[in-house]
Amino acid sequence: MIKILLSGCNGAMGQVITRLAEKKENLKIVAGYDVNTSIKNTYPVFDNLKECNVDIDVIIDFSHPQALESLLEFALAKKIPSVFATTGLANSQINALKAASKDIPVFYAANMSIGVNLLIDLVKKAAKVLEKDFDIEIVEKHHNLKIDAPSGTALAIADAVNSVLDEKQKYVYDRHSSRKKRSKKEIGIHAVRGGTIVGEHSVIFAGNDEIIEINHIAMSKEIFAEGALNAAVFMHGKGAGMYDMDDLIQGK
């Protein structure tokens, strides 16, 4: 039985993960970490990790970037493998994860969905073929409570596309502040916020008289929760290093 500490346990995603974990026979959430301790769970919830005295095998973080420093400090002190699924991390925080991975196993993904990671592979292949004659635009849509924009997934898609292009492109956001025609050396990234949209990502390749569009639509938060729990199982017993969804999918 893999014992999990869930950071952000009383948030929307944390509650979905909690519900799904109860159906798993190979893992159990034994402790939570959250600034909100008003929700009663089947496990103890701490607002201070220094008070957490529960035996833990893996940490899952689906919370807020502000929690990262204390989580990393706790994980490093206890030598606990950790899965970080929180979006909106700054570059300095991602660098902190990489530094921590020299001492503990660290799993980081901008999106925990297998489908989204397949989309990333597909758009990389398309970009290699189409880059000379097609403009590339990324549109992401999320619910009205999402704080960061554009989404971490949209940026991950843009980075993946840029990684395979012969000539690197600059990112242009929304274009509302610039009245000029589109450059051939850019990737447009656009964010939509409204209602209860779980998550939609579209990559548009627009050429002369034809358009190719690759989409992923999340119908519920459960796909991300399942991904996080699968990552926790995957990370149990791993050695120090940086891991991601490609490693999980390929079973490395």
- Point out the annotated binding site: 8-13, 34, 85-87, 109-112, 143, 152-153
Under DSSP, is residue 129 helix (H, G, I), strand (E, B) or coil?
helix
- Numbered residues of the known binding site for (S)-2,3,4,5-tetrahydrodipicolinate: 143, 152-153
User: Which of the residues 24, 64, 146, 236 is marked catalytic?
Assistant: 146
| Amino acid identity for residue 116 in this structure | V
Catalytic status, residue 142: yes
Distance CA 59, CA 81 (A): 6
Catalytic status, residue 78: no
Pairing assessment for the beta strands 82-84 and 241-243 based on DSSP bridges: unpaired
149 token code pair: 């924009």
User: Which of the residues 141, 142, 216, 221 is marked catalytic?
Assistant: 142
Under DSSP, is residue 149 helix (H, G, I), strand (E, B) or coil?
coil
Q: What is the largest CA-CA distance in the chain?
A: 63
Distance CA 32, CA 30 (A): 7
In eight-state DSSP terms, residue 170 is: E
Q: Within 13 Å, how many C-alpha atoms sit on residue 69's CB side?
A: 3
199 neighbors 25 (Cβ within 8 angstroms): no
Just list the catalytic residues: 142, 146
